Amino acid sequence: MTIKNQYKLHMKILKLSLITLFTITLTSCKKDGKTTDSSKDSLSAKKDSAVVQEFHKEYYGIYMGDFAGKEMITPEEGEEYEGDVYKKISLKINKITKDSVYGQSIVDGNQRPFRGVFNENTKSFVLDEPGNNKTDGRFEVSLNKDSLTGKWNAFNKSAVKSPSKNLKLIKKVFVYNPNFMLDENSDLIDWENPKNFIEKYTDEVTGKTEKYTTSKNRIASDAVFKINASKQKLTEKDIKNLRKLDLEIIKNSVFARHGYSFKKATYRNFFEQTDWYIPVSNNVDNDLSPMEKENVALLNRFIKYAEDKYDSFGR
């Protein structure tokens, strides 16, 4: 064999050796990489499986009742005075762990998360709202069977009318029921939106006529006790002669049945007169049935052009 042929053979063997070595190295890297990824996956699985232990699930749920504090009240006549103002509040306990309690509060349609601690010995909670809203504060409440009682104190006492309030709450169970309606003895007056009217008075003796201003309030009719937009498909004939307030109540009854927390006091005042209204969410749009959605759309069309009936009432 010539020197030239020997050189070619040597180079061919060297080339095959390098290819084999590269293949072995690459395979080893892949195996190593796979082992590493598997280790990572194993650690992730262990981390995901480390579920935080929960305690006292029997205390989970919604507690609802009075939220009372002292505020300055301005009467229609006379001087301003300090008196008790009652509102409705919901406290929802979502989770209790060894170190923390999680949940939310709902007052005046304002939904705020809270976090705190539970003392097993005294069966009491200390619950703090975030603090980035002027209405935020701390709840200090004690548990007695199905009731919560205690106090709430605002973080920023100068930012709210009543910086300290008392709570007396009872555990409630929220359920959606399309049959829920306003009680027939409900107050159907909208106290939140009075309107001034110019009236005339003629003295029978002198015959002199004078004008004066009087305040009147919207009033609903008994149609709100008969029409249920969660159970019946409404037609234009059903609602065309109703007052604007009737239409608003019938429409918002749909949302109230699903636990919507109303920001407008007008609607809260109507539904808080019932024992079934429990606010649990500030958005229930996805919970409405197709028929309810169609009825709401129809009611909205008529609300836009409907008129109200006003009358004079004393409080």
pLDDT tens readout for residues 137-146 = 999 999 999 9
* pLDDT tops 70 at residue 33: no
Do 203 and 288 lie in one domain? The reply is yes
Number of domains in the chain: 2
How many C-beta neighbours within 10 Å does residue 164 have?
A: 13
Q: What is the mean pLDDT of residues 6-29?
A: 47
Site of tokens 């019938």: 250
* Cβ proximity of 170 and 147 under 8 Å: yes
Q: What pLDDT, on the 0 to 100 scale, is given for residue 235?
A: 97
Does residue 122 sit within a domain? Answer: yes
Q: What is the mean pLDDT of residues 229-257?
A: 97
In degrees, to the nearest 5, what angle opens at C-alpha 237 toward C-alphas 233 and 239?
75
φ, ψ (nearest 5 deg) of residue 220: -90, 165
Across the chain, mean pLDDT equals: 87
φ, ψ (nearest 5 deg) of residue 55: -125, 160
Do 164 and 206 lie in one domain? The reply is no
SS3 for 172-193 is: ECCCCCCCCCCCCCCCCEEEEE
Q: Could you give the CA distance from residue 22 to residue 273 in angstroms, rounded to a whole number?
A: 81
Residue ranges making up the domain that contains 117 = 57-172
Q: What pLDDT, on the 0 to 100 scale, is given for residue 315?
A: 60
SS3 content of the chain, % helix, strand, coil (to 5): 30, 35, 35
Do 168 and 238 lie in one domain? The reply is no
> In the structure, what pLDDT confidence band is assigned to residue 34 with cuts at 50, 70 and 90?
very low
Cα dist. 97→10, 51, 144, 211, 274 in Å?
73, 11, 20, 67, 34
* Cβ proximity of 183 and 273 under 8 Å: yes
Do 218 and 271 lie in one domain? The reply is yes
Beta pairing partners, 57: none
* pLDDT tops 60 at residue 39: no
Q: What is the mean pLDDT of residues 276-290?
A: 96
Does residue 51 sit within a domain? Answer: no
Q: What is the mean pLDDT of residues 45-72?
A: 85
Does residue 25 sit within a domain? Answer: no
Write the CB contacts of 262 (distance below 8 Å, at least 6 apart in sequence).
109, 252, 255, 256, 268, 271, 279
Do 193 and 168 lie in one domain? The reply is no
